[in-house]
Structure 1
Amino acid sequence: MLLTVDHVTRYRYDQPVRAVVQSHRLTPARFDGQKVLAWAVTVSGGEMGGAFRDGAGDWVQGWTVKGPVSEIEVRVQGQVETTDLAGVLRGHRELVPPLAYLRATPATEADAALQALAASAAQDDPLSQAHALAFAVAGAITYRPGATHSHTTAAEALAQGEGVCQDHAQALIACARALGVPARYVAGYLFASDDGQPHEASHAWAELHVPGYGWIGFDPANRTCPDARYIRLGSGLDAKEAAPIRGIARGQGCESLDVTVAVQSQAQ
């Protein structure tokens, strides 16, 4: 599938700030399921800094915007050719061992309810168990946009019974780790096709490490494994660590955020 992305993030400050420093994970991952044909990231008034590929295989790019500045636009435009690998992250090079993803974070700490949900899906076969965990989370947390916020934890989302893709991913991660299965959060894009299912163009899912297969993606929000409609950017222990854009503004101004994402399919 040939997918095009146009992703715009605008930061506005009610008072001009002296400078803004950002770290981006906005470049598609390198693996057998996707090939970048064209990709560009621009930052209004920005100066590109250092860049590196981290141990998880993600490309991290630094940017600086010198002030005073009241508005910044980060724009991502590109084209990616994708292949359906049934969720398996094949051909992805990374140095971090899977066991490193057993560590819980405040957002993915498994409370008694999450541990009970995990236990209800436990199975002897690791692959069947991974699928069962994803379906258990999908059944326990109803997809509802706006039901949660960026700081909602997995435990809070489960207690509420509603959430968005971030909540589904973090709850699945918490359940998997509770059973000793390495799991991580993945940020990316999803082509919102006309299939009647809920989608978010700027999307998130989880990857679980399954013996004999390696990392496999699971998207409880859409009850599926990532296929050719998905573009993978990067990963982390939770949503905060895997965020495509992280940064800090130097100044007293309060920040507001506006994001628009368009993912389209083109004929090959």
Structure 2
Amino acid sequence: MRLHVEYSTDYAFTQPQRRLVQLLRMTPVNFAAQHVIDWHIDVDCDARLRPSRDGYGNEITMLYITGPIDRIALKVSGEVLTDDRSGLVEDAPEPLPVEVFLRETNLSAADDAIRAFAADIANSEKDPLSRMHLLMSRILNEIRYVPTLDAVERNAATAFASNTGVCQDHAHIFCAAARSMGIPARYISGHLYRRDGAHIQEASHAWAEAHLPAIGWTGFDPANGISPDDAYIRVACGLDYLEAAPVAGQRLGGGEETLTVDVRVTQAQNQAQN
């Protein structure tokens, strides 16, 4: 599928800022299931953009702005050609050993409840792939998806205890449970083309990947109960949300900050016409 992405992030500050430095994880990488045809990052002010790659293999862009400035409009757009590989992640940049993804973080640590949840799944299925599919379906059925819930940085244990969550919560719970079973897992941020016609979204999407024997890295989306197909654009990976979030940074200046995000994922014009 040929997908078109328009991603706008608008910042407004109650006081002028003297300096801003941001790390942008907004550019997809090429691998077997996706090929980036065209991609642009534009800023509506005088800014320096420096592309590079981080330790996880993600494409990153450092953004530097010298003020005074009281608002910023950041626009990302591009086209990606995707293929349905049943969630398999092949030929992606993999600079780290898989054992790194057994590490817990504050957001993805398993508590006693999650460990018991994972142990029950491990006792039910011996095959690692079947375990991960069961884990995905159990999270889908037991952690009610609430897409408007504004809590993307709460930890897995809190979300699991509440039985509700956004896609970020589902990904954290999946990683916590998989790692407690001894299966490396990582958090993924990206975009999802909605086949139901809901092309305008309030944020990027999130899911998880697990490293399975003889298969390698494979994606699982507990929020939708499927492995990623050609409707998914994979952008960044990390141990948790903070390590794969689209934007992270610091500012020098007082006052409050407001953020507005608008994401549109559609089929490219030529494909839609065909």
TM-score (norm 1): 0.95
Partner of 1:28: 28
Q: Using a 3 Å threshold, how does the CA distance of structure 1 residues 46 and 223 change in structure 2: closer, same or farther?
A: farther
Distance 1:146 1:160 in 2: 15
Deviations 1:211-250 (A, max 9, x none): 1111001000000000000000010000011011111111
2:30 aligned counterpart, secondary structure: coil
> Is 1:100 the counterpart of 2:100 in the alignment?
yes
> Is 1:218 the counterpart of 2:253 in the alignment?
no
Moved over 3 A (4+): none
C-alpha RMSD of matched pairs (Å)? 1.6
Contact between 1:148 and 1:163, CA under 8 Å: does it hold in 2? no
Q: For structure 2, which runs of at least 5 residues remain unmatched after alignment?
A: none
Partner of 2:138: 136
Q: Using a 3 Å threshold, how does the CA distance of structure 1 residues 75 and 181 change in structure 2: closer, same or farther?
A: same
Q: Shift of residue 139 of structure 1?
A: 1.7
2:61 aligned counterpart, secondary structure: strand
1:220 aligned counterpart, secondary structure: coil
Q: Shift of residue 200 of structure 1?
A: 7.0
Q: Using a 3 Å threshold, how does the CA distance of structure 1 residues 83 and 200 change in structure 2: closer, same or farther?
A: farther
Distance 2:172 2:24 in 1: 21
2:169 aligned counterpart, secondary structure: helix
Aligned identity (percent) is 42
Q: Using a 3 Å threshold, how does the CA distance of structure 1 residues 130 and 22 change in structure 2: closer, same or farther?
A: same
Partner of 1:15: 15
Partner of 2:157: 155
Distance 1:207 1:46 in 2: 38
Q: Shift of residue 263 of structure 1?
A: 0.3
- Structure 1 counterpart of 2:82, one-letter code: T
Aligned match for 2:255, one of 240, 247, 253: 253
- Structure 2 counterpart of 1:189, one-letter code: H
- Structure 1 counterpart of 2:91, one-letter code: G
Deviations 1:100-135 (A, max 9, x none): 011100111101111111112112211111111111
Q: For structure 1, which runs of at least 5 residues remain unmatched after alignment?
A: none
Partner of 2:55: 55
Counting matched residue pairs gives 266
Q: Using a 3 Å threshold, how does the CA distance of structure 1 residues 176 and 200 change in structure 2: closer, same or farther?
A: farther
Distance 1:201 1:73 in 2: 16
